[in-house]
Structure 1
């Protein structure tokens, strides 16, 4: 266990302590080396999972992914709370430069690397400098951290197995990465300044809040002020009768710093059946009393009111879902928080987001912004009572998957993702089979694509590149990159030729 004490002065942050109001608003009590947080008597742990190509898949593949996601939801532990979080954050320029931009070697080719890096930076700016990350946070009550660790180890194995059926990967994040998640939210615009060294922090007597907390956090009636920006938290108050599976991803396409969380509380099958059976018996009792009143008035042919008939029908269908269709009962709540530079911009963004809800009713939480913010952030808490009783399939409709991103460290630029509009940076050396073909009709840019990949590899790697060029179109490029051109013909100056009889 690591218990870090708050320092009175912090030389790294303008020599002042975190305000006590901010400390009270961040419910983290203790942090542990393996990324476990103790929050309000509960223990929580966060994993990062990666997207799959759901939106561009065929209807058959989408159905297959949907059913696999239902299986994943059914596998969530009953004695815990799950929180699926989608986080739009600004691109960390230091991370971008370190992982995606070319480094200079001083070999006379740095002028080309400068141009390449400028192109990547311009393309990244066109995508609003935002990237989307997906996390799942599991929280549970435990007697001590050792018991919580054993529980999270089992859960991590189950999550990995379930998501692998969707061709999605999941990764346990470290303590520093989890703190970075809160830092990037609490300090928009300072993403590249994050630094947390556990050993140095303990030696200096500083607290982990120094690394993540904003300079100020003030909650108002329907919004909050965080540093120099403004924020507002919304919640899903009422569901539409029909919800499309792209509602969540369409909301998160809005180009702002924002975070959306789906809290899921699985209910045990025995408890769920008892609850539904109790509701069915209550509706039947109301129907019997209504019928008795009609009989006492000699109205023996009266039919049940439509609303009462529908309640009976829905109750029986719900029971069939639980007992025959492998569905589970879940309590769910959806919360969303977004940030803006001014209150006017915040109001405009709220209106724009509400227009993307596809018939569902989102509402602003009044006088509950602090509890709502602690609910939407991946602490593992649920502080607002706005749950809705759902089945597995109705929960799975809140689909968090959209399009797989490819941004490999040490990779080269291939283009723009047509769905997310983010950069495609691929390192084919990481693949099981890195071979490739460039196919297309005449004039579609096959040669240009090949030259672009050839140039990128020559500038960023020390690979041996060999070009067989019957059309003699690569010579100027090879010479510019410091390569050697060998002409093979019967009349070549190098006297290089191929004897067909060999």
Structure 2
């Protein structure tokens, strides 16, 4: 019995031990499940990085999007498309079609247009005017306040960027890299044909774009360093990822502190216009537009269309059979079938006989905002533009994550909604609108862009040829524009400023800026010597080479010769000049500088009758009543701003005075060149210098020579016909990369349109335009501008030439 009891107890103990072991195993299993759940939770915690749809971003800019997909990105700039001539527009459009046709079915490409608010501090740095702690700081403060007000009116806080990202399938990076580089070279060459500046992006630059998109609140620039990433153990995704993603709602998503929504464009319109994309990009909102484009193999595309035509014909036959059975005319079939049949037939013809390809296109819009109401307003505004062009903007239902990842310039589309379009239909989303001009450095203000309302800030010194013209009818604001540039240059540059003033309009401003006003008239005691010269007057060792051109021009004006002075007369003058300057060159002191009378005396000593004829013409300017120019210079010419007021010279002497002023400017330019200082020269009534052949030729020489000597001349005139009548005007235009064109008279508009190749649309900005409105030509860029200067400012009273506003 005891043995049996012992066995039973032993058996019970074993069962209990087994039960304990089973329970322990169960606990271990439940712990394992708990650990797995915890692990899943941990994975969810790091899903912000996991959501971003790429694997690696290499330093050279190649991104491995997924196992067998690699992409690169190119940034490209804008060109003037909306403002171009119709012929130029057609040429750009055709080149853009050729650009699209380059991509075969092995390349997926994505066009990204990013409008994002940025920190105004960056723009404020450009317009900042520093104090110099002198008596002119009040003027600088007032001009700076005006610039800040103009900045607030514009959209300069909205940064617009354009990118093209292309991707290919490849087994590994070694296979992908040469293919991507070849495609990149071809794309850059195609952009070059279009005249579009473009540059490939490296890895850090691509990451910066991703960071800006995913962190729209972050206004500062945080640089990325691949070296630091290696040491820290972080990945590139840690740099670009926001604090969180939330995709709970089917129609919106949360990204950090921002709410966003992705929509797609449903194209219903039978025909689209090239203005639609431009209007989307003109929105003053955070908006990212993406076009994912995939070319369809030409053989497959034709086969697809033929298949659709077969289906339509089959449906037509079925409808005809029904009609016959019902006793109707067999030609009566649903109108949709006829419409679709005709469209399919035209599409097939395009693919077979014209230079057309088929593309599968997805157009996505990403709106972001701080609040849901602001987001809804932005989406509503975007949808309104789509509706205007007979298209519908639809939210992506429960595909917001895919839509967001497709909105990143990675070269892969995750949204399966596609629309088949031909080359021409795809090219209608032409990515070019108009250029902006907002430069850093010593940039001056020229108004607001009439299209985008952005400030125009440019530096003429950065042009190949900074020479300029300001053209406009009376009252259009040309003198005001010149004075505004003078004031701006005074405030932010160290340049010398010289003004030729035939109408006495500039002296109030010059006095306010502490400049020297030289009044030249028959009764004035201010004298300038036309024979002034310095040892740096020419590039070579003989300064008389250039001075001779001036003296010949002077004599031509004095003699009143319409056909220019004769060769014999030129020879006589050229012989006399070395004799006249001999004393000064041997001992260059001011008292040894010759005057006009010395040239007159030398000519009288010559035997030729031509010499006596020139001397006789000079006599009234030497010994007669017009001897104002037969004196040594007795005024201060070293002031930073010098204004030559020749208003009271009268008709007979005014042209002569303007020519002599031009020679004085050349003297100043040659002196400043040695100190690497720029000289800005403004000459009003510029057409007067182009009337006589010799003075026009001398002006052209100045225009050509000024650039390499640091001179920046600006001709100002309202008499366009007189200006264009000169045979030398083509040389002036060819050597002027800066033109400020204000309102023009009807006859002048047509002449200028032909001369400068201005489109009718561009011409509308100088047709019956208000004061301070017109076109700015900056190199190859043409921008319509407007400038409403604050009339309450003291500066306005110094600049205006309106009789009722001029203060005595």
TM-score normalised by L of structure 2: 0.55
Post-superposition shift, 1:297? Answer: 8.3
Q: State whether residues 94 and 192 of structure 1, in contact with CA within 8 Å, keep that contact through their aligned partners in structure 2.
A: no
Post-superposition shift, 1:489? Answer: 5.6
Post-superposition shift, 1:376? Answer: 1.7
Distance 1:412 1:177, change over 3 A: farther
Which residue of the partner structure matches residue 71 of structure 1? 98
Q: State whether residues 330 and 390 of structure 1, in contact with CA within 8 Å, keep that contact through their aligned partners in structure 2.
A: yes
What SS does structure 2 have at the residue aligned with 1:134?
Answer: strand
Post-superposition shift, 1:238? Answer: 3.8
- Greater displacement, 120-129 / 298-307: 298-307
Alpha-carbon separation, structure 2, partners of 1:297 and 1:442: 79
Q: State whether residues 327 and 392 of structure 1, in contact with CA within 8 Å, keep that contact through their aligned partners in structure 2.
A: yes
Matched, 1:92 2:80: no
Post-superposition shift, 1:384? Answer: 0.8
Post-superposition shift, 1:440? Answer: 1.0
- Greater displacement, 280-289 / 174-183: 280-289
Distance 1:369 1:428, change over 3 A: same
1:425 to 454, 457, 473: 457
1:447 to 479, 482, 490: 479
Which residue of the partner structure matches residue 251 of structure 2? 222
Alpha-carbon separation, structure 2, partners of 1:120 and 1:159: 39
Q: State whether residues 95 and 192 of structure 1, in contact with CA within 8 Å, keep that contact through their aligned partners in structure 2.
A: no
Q: Which has the higher contact order (CA 8 A, sep 6+)?
A: 1
Q: State whether residues 335 and 372 of structure 1, in contact with CA within 8 Å, keep that contact through their aligned partners in structure 2.
A: yes
Alpha-carbon separation, structure 2, partners of 1:154 and 1:175: 18
Alpha-carbon separation, structure 1, partners of 2:447 and 2:329: 73
Post-superposition shift, 1:103? Answer: 6.2
Which residue of the partner structure matches residue 191 of structure 2? 163
Which residue of the partner structure matches residue 492 of structure 2? 460
1:231 to 260, 266, 270: 260
Which residue of the partner structure matches residue 407 of structure 1? 438
1:195 to 223, 231, 241: 223
Deviation per CA, 1:417-462, whole angstroms, max 9, x where unpaired? 1111112222223333322110111222212211222233333334
Alpha-carbon separation, structure 2, partners of 1:241 and 1:300: 30
Distance 1:177 1:455, change over 3 A: farther
Q: State whether residues 104 and 296 of structure 2, in contact with CA within 8 Å, keep that contact through their aligned partners in structure 1.
A: no
What SS does structure 2 have at the residue aligned with 1:332?
Answer: strand
- Greater displacement, 29-38 / 455-464: 455-464
Which residue of the partner structure matches residue 392 of structure 1? 423
Which residue of the partner structure matches residue 306 of structure 2? 277
**Number of residue pairs matched?**
484
Which residue of the partner structure matches residue 263 of structure 1? 292
Alpha-carbon separation, structure 1, partners of 2:181 and 2:507: 57
Structure of larger gyration radius: 2
Deviation per CA, 1:119-152, whole angstroms, max 9, x where unpaired? 4443333234213211111111223334333223
Alpha-carbon separation, structure 1, partners of 2:107 and 2:139: 54
Which residue of the partner structure matches residue 416 of structure 1? 448
Deviation per CA, 1:446-502, whole angstroms, max 9, x where unpaired? 122112222333333343433223445444545655655555566666653444568
Alpha-carbon separation, structure 1, partners of 2:298 and 2:377: 44
Gaps of 5+ in 2: 1-43, 531-595, 597-620, 623-629, 631-808
Counterparts of residues 13-162 of structure 1 (less than 5 Å): 20-41=46-67, 42-98=69-125, 100-102=126-128, 104=130, 106=132, 108=134, 113-128=140-155, 129-162=157-190
What SS does structure 2 have at the residue aligned with 1:164?
Answer: helix
Post-superposition shift, 1:30? Answer: 1.3
Structure 1 or 2: more helix by fraction: 2
1:254 to 280, 283, 292: 283
Gaps of 5+ in 1: 1-17
- Greater displacement, 304-313 / 328-337: 304-313
Q: State whether residues 82 and 380 of structure 1, in contact with CA within 8 Å, keep that contact through their aligned partners in structure 2.
A: yes
Post-superposition shift, 1:225? Answer: 1.2
What SS does structure 2 have at the residue aligned with 1:251?
Answer: helix
Distance 1:293 1:344, change over 3 A: closer
Alpha-carbon separation, structure 1, partners of 2:310 and 2:377: 47
Which residue of the partner structure matches residue 723 of structure 2? none
Alpha-carbon separation, structure 2, partners of 1:183 and 1:489: 66
- Greater displacement, 199-208 / 388-397: 199-208
TM-score normalised by L of structure 1: 0.87
What SS does structure 2 have at the residue aligned with 1:266?
Answer: strand
Q: State whether residues 77 and 155 of structure 1, in contact with CA within 8 Å, keep that contact through their aligned partners in structure 2.
A: no
Alpha-carbon separation, structure 2, partners of 1:103 and 1:78: 54
Q: State whether residues 321 and 330 of structure 2, in contact with CA within 8 Å, keep that contact through their aligned partners in structure 1.
A: no
Alpha-carbon separation, structure 1, partners of 2:143 and 2:174: 50
Matched, 1:350 2:379: yes
Alpha-carbon separation, structure 1, partners of 2:225 and 2:486: 40
Distance 1:391 1:466, change over 3 A: same
Deviation per CA, 1:83-133, whole angstroms, max 9, x where unpaired? 1111111133354345x2346474646665554444444333323421321
Which residue of the partner structure matches residue 15 of structure 1? none
Q: State whether residues 323 and 332 of structure 2, in contact with CA within 8 Å, keep that contact through their aligned partners in structure 1.
A: no
Deviation per CA, 1:285-335, whole angstroms, max 9, x where unpaired? 444555567778898955554333333322221111011111011000100
Alpha-carbon separation, structure 1, partners of 2:232 and 2:238: 12
Deviation per CA, 1:342-396, whole angstroms, max 9, x where unpaired? 1122223222221211211111111110001111221212101110111011111
What SS does structure 1 have at the residue aligned with 2:285?
Answer: coil
Alpha-carbon separation, structure 1, partners of 2:138 and 2:111: 44
Alpha-carbon separation, structure 1, partners of 2:503 and 2:231: 65
What SS does structure 2 have at the residue aligned with 1:138?
Answer: strand
Q: State whether residues 259 and 377 of structure 1, in contact with CA within 8 Å, keep that contact through their aligned partners in structure 2.
A: no
Which residue of the partner structure matches residue 707 of structure 2? none
Which residue of the partner structure matches residue 399 of structure 2? 368
Distance 1:116 1:216, change over 3 A: farther
Distance 1:137 1:118, change over 3 A: farther
What SS does structure 2 have at the residue aligned with 1:136?
Answer: strand
Aligned residues: CA RMSD:
2.9
